Amino acid sequence: MNVRDPFGLHRKSALSILQTSASRAAVDLTERAVEASVNAIEKGKQAVDDFEMSFSVPKNVPSFGNPQRIVEDHVWGSTAVARGGKASSHTNKGAGILEGVQDRVGGLFHNQNTLPMYKDKPYAYPVSHRARPIWRRKRAIAFTFLLVSLLYYFGIFGRHRDAALSSAPLWTWLAAGSESGKTADWLKRRERVVEAFTLSWDGYERYAWGYDAFHPVSKKGEQMAPQGMGWIIVDALDTMILMNLTSRVSHAREWISNSLTYDQDQDVSTFETTIRMLGGLLSAHYLSNEFPDLAPLAEDDPGAPGEDLYLERAKDLADRLVAAFDSPSGVPYASVNIGKYEGLPAHDEGGASSTAEATTLQLEFKYLAKLTGEKYFWDKAEKVMQVVDNNGVEDGLVPIFIYATDGTFRGNNIRLGSRGDSYYEYLIKQYLQTNKQEPIYLELWDESLRGVRKHLVTYTEPSGFAIIGERPDGLKGSLSPKMDHLVCFMPGTIALAATGGLTEAEARKQSTWTKKNEADMKLARELMHTCWGMYKWMATGLAAEITYFNVADPPLPEGAPHHPPADFDADPEAVWRKDYSVHAMDTHNLQRPETVESLFYMWRITGDIKYREWGWEMFKSFMNHTAVPDGGGFSSLSNANRVPPVMRDNMESFWLAETLKYFYLLFSPDDLLPLDKIVINTEAHAFPRFDMGPLFSTGWKRKPRDAEGKMMG
């Protein structure tokens, strides 16, 4: 979790963002005016109707089932044009015997950085979504009839001649009437998720194979290290295994075997590299051994030369990352040079590390220690928890920065959003990972959740939704009614802690079930409801990065009477909408997984079908509004509160590793990765629960506290 921006891809100044938004808006308005004029002359009102976006019949999605598309994708993906030539740091450049002809013909109509003309066809995308040179727009005004004929022939406007290849509407399942949860075919819906994944993966494979970042709109790849880190390939690997995508797993494994190297002079984020790369390799090792029938490959069969490929790569990476822990306090540095085996302090915040980042490495290093028998991985990760707890924070709530030099906190900012979130998540998951053999982490979790209730939970006005706010100036300061989307991991995590991964019905039968568990499940349900409202409030049905809420002054305490509406009225003037507010600079959607993650946990634990239905509605919104033209896959959004939305031109690796994985699991039978047998890291990589055995133990104890929880001495 956390800020999820390890290489500064999203760090843009406010001026830069405003300039980009303004230029895009200007281009969009110009294109709309030209289109309206041309369509009025050539096609009449029907073309205008086609141009307008519809919520019920999406036009900005490609056809998964179009036979012509399937044939062309197969042919294009296997040609030298698609695969040949060394992909530069920005884009793949086609090569072939017809290259010169393609360049001359395609150059008449297309940017040279796109695919050749014969492949670069829209699939029912409005023209306003397609970037075109300015001279073409001017000529369209001067030579309307000539250009209308040419552009219509090449499929620029609305519906085109490829539509005739299939009598069915594009992605008809999106436009079809919804079945109720009890009668819905959830395995069929799960297949839609697989289709979305393969479209995303195949776009990456075609345009940016081996690159760490993928820009699906511009069809470019970008490296984060000189030889790449496998950022997307490794992060998405276990999702493909779960989906049984054997050929794609084989291709990814081949790249990991032949091309992946960590022997590079490169600074990387300790946290992000651990949860994504180390976690991804460890999860792939676990799944390929525990479930050999999923994406089966002879190369990783027992006794085969490549049997331990994933584990070997994980061990090599961990040997480099563990250098980050070589600080005076034992708290890891924010970055590490993987080639020099050297930890590096952060470049800002006075060199302090993010608290969440320092305390969200433990699942990965403990599991690796268990697999390899290398106890120092365990000891290094565990030491951090002791240093953090020795600060003696009030009510279990930790500030979001900590110095690696002396292990003390920097500032008083307390929140469960970025830089704070996964500290709390990993408390309960460390307890579950070792089969509840380390009660110290349950104690820390319970203390923190009490602190969240006491200091951060309040209710909105006028409707009474439960929220988790922030204390930017510490617990003595005022409450800020702000929730990052990241905070929406909490409903599922609270439910997981309350039940231990059992269903709620099973957990209630246990002798350990108490009124506290009952109250925790109630809070989990209420927060889940609020997070779903963050999606319902937005024009695209996709939540903003940050949402603010209207609360009383002073804020109501946790437990105060509140009666939020059960449903979200679609009326734009509905009362519930007054409770939510999204600032103009926070309208971006980064394809984040936290809400669908919690929906997955809530469905598995409560069995309430509404959580599946909410997930299905959310998935359809992603399909409706984030699909990219010409087989690019899906993109995050710069503005998710307008239709059509503004594309960000970036596919996050966690779109494949987390978001689509959680959709897949949400629509799967409950026996796929049962929650009482596994623990899932903060990047959605699955590890088994295990007994510590004689080699491992909890190597620290908490300092004594008084009755109020304050550290003594």
Task: Decide: 123 and 62 in contact? Cβ < 8 Å.
Answer: yes
Task: Decide: 580 and 547 in contact? Cβ < 8 Å.
Answer: yes
Give strand ranges (E) for 588-648.
Answer: 627-628, 633-634, 637-639, 646-647
The H or E element that residue 626 is part of is helix 609-626
Structure tokens at 113: 């950085």
Task: Decide: 489 and 524 in contact? Cβ < 8 Å.
Answer: no
CA angle 194, 188, 490 (to 5 degrees): 65
The H or E element that residue 148 is part of is helix 144-153
Using the structure block, give the residue that is written with the tokens 């005076």: 328
Spatial CA neighbour of 356 closest among 393, 412, 400 = 400
Task: Decide: 398 and 409 in contact? Cβ < 8 Å.
Answer: yes
Task: Decide: 419 and 358 in contact? Cβ < 8 Å.
Answer: no
Instruction: Name the DSSP class of 551.
Output: B
Task: Decide: 401 and 349 in contact? Cβ < 8 Å.
Answer: yes
Using the structure block, give the residue that is written with the tokens 């044939």: 71
Q: Kindly give the interhelix angle for 186-208 and 231-242, rounded to the nearest 10 degrees.
A: 150
Cβ-based neighbour number of residue 453 at 10 Å: 17
Q: 3-state DSSP helix/strand/coil percent for the chain, to nearest 5?
A: 50, 10, 45
CA angle 655, 659, 663 (to 5 degrees): 135
Cβ-based neighbour number of residue 201 at 10 Å: 25
d(CA 539, CA 645): 9
- Partners of 646 in the β-ladder: 639
Structure tokens at 593: 């997984």
The residue annotated as part of the active site, out of 272, 357, 382, 545, is 545
Spatial CA neighbour of 156 closest among 134, 116, 124, 108 = 124
What's the number of CA atoms in the CB half-sphere (13 Å) around residue 64? 18
Structure tokens at 708: 């109020």
Structure tokens at 334: 């924010």
Spatial CA neighbour of 37 closest among 153, 161, 155, 148 = 148
Label residue 189 exposed, middle or buried (CB < 10 Å: 0-12, 13-18, 19+): buried
Kindly list the distances between the CA atom of residue 449 and the CA atoms of 12, 291, 562, in Å, as whole numbers in the listed order. 34, 35, 20
CA angle 596, 56, 243 (to 5 degrees): 40
d(CA 441, CA 517): 17
DSSP string, 673-703: S-TTTEEE-TTS-EEE----TTT------PP
Spatial CA neighbour of 465 closest among 551, 403, 344 = 551
Task: Tell me whether residue 545 is one of the annotated catalytic residues.
Answer: yes
CA end-to-end span of the chain: 35
Kindly list the distances between the CA atom of residue 298 and the CA atoms of 245, 260, 382, in Å, as whole numbers in the listed order. 15, 20, 37
Spatial CA neighbour of 438 closest among 214, 116, 702 = 702
> Which stretches of 504-555 are DSSP H helices?
504-508, 515-536
Active site residues: 545
